[in-house]
Structure 1
Amino acid sequence: MAESKKSAAGDRVATPRTGGQPNSDTLKTLSSAIGARIKVTTAVSPAQTFEGTLFTACPVLNVVAINTAQPPPNPASNPANAPGDYHIIPISRIQNVQVISQPEQPSGKDGWANALPAIGKVDTVRLREREQHRIAKIKQEETKRGKGVTAEAQALFNAMDRMYAARWHGTDIIIDDAVIISSPYAAENCKAPKGKEQSLAHIRRVVEGERKKIASRGPNSEFPDTLATKPLNERSNVHIMFATRQNKRIAL
């Protein structure tokens, strides 16, 4: 089989005969001629000849698609608006291909401007801002995750954080930079410096109330507040447990 060469005006491309295996060189050559005007002759009896614009050469399906409609009178017009009469031809049924004319190769900025679909300008400044914002948000979320604390402690932190400015300091919960809640995070474990007695009394009442809510959910229950702090595989296990209790099916 003759070796395929890069197509030029008037060149012929060697192709396999009927029933043969698709020629990879032919596909490669045709792929480089997308948009060219070509003439294809089939090997199927009776032989047929198609002349038109090469739309695509698919190496997966081993076929070519040709638009045999006449090109628009104004070459500068949008090709998407041009009429189409497409023919799908298997490579194995092509006897030969003749490239009549090569497609115009846009260069420089004009090539991008005429690309279809249109390629818009990428706002890299905005992308960097979004990236930095997302990184800052992830870091902020990470500071809300207690290290070496129980699920109940994290649930209490999440509840307090919704009402006050809460942060972790080791395993201690700091509320409004005034009250410290230490393990095991009961009301009597709250302390505050002198002058913050009123805030301390208030936080103790809130902690006591939140602990009662947590206890009412059951000692073995997982709290929705803590799901965001767990790895994905642990979250899936929690969902499975909920599905079993509620007799519902949840697609994970």
Structure 2
Amino acid sequence: MNSSNQIAMDGTTATTNNHTEDFAVDPLDIKKCYLDLNSLQAREESAIRQAEAEAERRGVGVTSEAQNIFDALSKTLPVRWDKTVIVVMKEVRVSSPYLPESVSGGTPAANDRVKKVLELERKRLHARGGGQ
């Protein structure tokens, strides 16, 4: 050995700094290991649900500006995508180019609320450079 920090492995024996240790016995005995399969399955299912929820929040075939508007609206209102249309509060629709004039449907009060929030969020996005 050239250096005291080097380790040489030869089969089941490791040598380091004139110290030899036999690794014939596996320190990780499978008989002593316990995996809670129910817990692992629950974690997997939770991760899948989270990934699906995140995927539903991503618009397909929309501009980054549209996605930014969706993300901003989602902070204060319940939203979902219907192809390229943002559906707010299950009744109000915001179509491209995602301007207050593009808002339709819903009650007059809901429609006005979405227009106001949309206008405010567009101003915020443009102020931060996130809008076009």
Q: Compute the TM-score of the two structures, normalised by the length of structure 2.
A: 0.77
Q: What is the total number of aligned residue pairs between the two structures?
A: 117
Q: Which has the larger radius of gyration?
A: 1
Seen in structure 2, the aligned counterparts of structure 1 residues 112 and 208 have a Cα distance that, compared at 3 Å, is same
Give the aligned partner of residue 31 of structure 2: 112
Q: Give the superposed CA RMSD.
A: 2.6
Whole-angstrom CA distance in 2 between matches of 1:168 and 1:111: 48
Q: CA deviation at 1:149?
A: 1.2
Whole-angstrom CA distance in 1 between matches of 2:67 and 2:84: 10
Identity %: 29
Identify, as 1 or 2, the structure richer in helix: 2
Whole-angstrom CA distance in 1 between matches of 2:97 and 2:30: 67
Three-state SS of the structure 2 residue aligned to 1:122 is coil
Match 2:126 to one of 209, 215, 226: 215
Aligned counterparts, 1:5-84, within 5 A: 27-28=10-11, 31=12, 57-58=13-14, 63=15
Q: Deviations over 1:174-229 (max 9, x none)?
A: 00111000000000100014xx11100111111111111111223xx58xxxxxxx
Q: Compute the TM-score of the two structures, normalised by the length of structure 1.
A: 0.42
1:139 counterpart = 2:70: no
Three-state SS of the structure 2 residue aligned to 1:146 is coil
Match 2:39 to one of 114, 121, 126: 126
Aligned counterparts, 1:86-97, within 5 A: 87-88=18-19
Counterpart residue identity of residue 42, structure 2:
E
Structure 2: stretches of 5+ with no match in the other structure? 1-8
1:198 counterpart = 2:109: yes
Counterpart residue identity of residue 90, structure 2:
D
